[in-house]
Each structure stands twice: as structure tokens, then as C-alpha cells.
Amino acid sequence: MIAQWLGVPAEWLRFGGPEAAAPAGEAGGSLSRFESADVKLIADLQRLDEHHRQIAREFIRMLVRVNYQK
């Protein structure tokens, strides 16, 4: 189900490998491709309870803001 949601093959999600091809209609697919480590991180995030997911989201948002300020 996660592989379908991310638009990647299930085998790639489980074992890693070359980047998945972009879904049809996406220019370059830059937003639809994830590194294997990113996909695993998303799966880990989904295993957290809602409170800890919210903390993780806020932490990531803070890091993005700090990164853009550089």
C-alpha cells in the first residue's frame, strides 16, 4: 500500500535499488521520486503514534526553515 501511495515498486520499497520512474504526467518526476532511505523514514514516521508524528513533522519544518535562511 505504501509503495502504491509513493508511486514506487514494492520491491524497491522493500530492498532499495535504482530510482523509480516518474509517474506519467509528472515533469521530470522530481517530486515523485524518493531515495530508499527517505521511503524507509516515511514508513518509520507512520509507525509512530500521532503525538510523536506531530513532533517529527514540526522538527522537520523547523529544519527546513533554518535551511532556507542560510
pTM reported for the whole predicted model: 0.50
Q: Categorize the per-residue pLDDT at 18 as very low, low, confident or very high, splitting at 50, 70 and 90.
A: low
Cα separation, 30 vs 69, in Å, equals 23
Judge whether residue 17 has pLDDT over 80: no
User: Bigger pLDDT: 52 or 33?
Assistant: 52
Percent of the chain's residues with pLDDT above 90: 19
Domain map (residue ranges) of the chain: 2-69
Tens-digit pLDDT profile for residues 23-41:
444 444 444 566 778 888 8
Q: 39 near 28, Cβ under 8 Å?
A: no
